[in-house]
Amino acid sequence: MMGDYNAVATAGELKPQQMKRIVVDGRRLLLCNSQGELYCVDEMCSHEDYSLYLGCIKDGRIKCSLHGSYFDLATGNPSCEPAVEPIRTYPVKIEAGRVWVKT
C-alpha cells in the first residue's frame, strides 16, 4: 500500500494485449496492457454479469466476448451496443518496480 494505491503486479509483468484479474478492496478488476499502456477497469461487463476477462484487448479498448460491446480502457465508455453504461476505470501508476492501482 502506498497512499491510496495498492500494488497489483510487477512492472513489465503484462505483455501487450495481456490482462490480469486482480481484487482490490473487494472489487474484481482487470489490469490491462494495451500497446504498452496500462489500464485498470471493472472486470464485469455493464450489460450483463459477464467477465470481460473472457474477451480481448484491441486498440485501447476491451471487447466483451458475450455480445460484442467494446469499452474504452481510458474512459470506460462503451463504443457500441448492446452495452450503454460505462464500466468504471481506476488510476494506475508504475513506481518502485511495481504497478499500483487506486480504487
Indicate the helix (H) or strand (E) that contains 31.
Answer: strand 27-34
Binding mask 21-60 for ligand FES (x = CB under 6 A): ------------------------x-xx-x----------
CA dist., res. 65 & res. 22, Å (int)? 19
Q: Residue 44 CB, nearest distance to ligand FES (Å)? A: 9
Q: Which DSSP symbol is given to 82?
A: T
Among 27, 67, 98, 102, binds ligand FES (CB under 6 A): 67
Do 2 and 92 touch, CB atoms closer than 8 A?
no
The answer to whether 91 contacts ligand FES (rule: CB under 6 A) is no
Q: How far does the chain reach from its first CA to its final CA, in angstroms?
A: 12
By CB under 6 A, which span of 5-13, 16-24, 61-69, 90-98 interacts with ligand FES? 61-69
For residue 78, what is the DSSP state? B
Cell numbers found for residue 86: 460505462
Between 14 and 64, name the residue whose CB sits nearer to ligand FES. 64
Q: Which is nearer to ligand FES, 31 or 55 (CB)?
A: 55
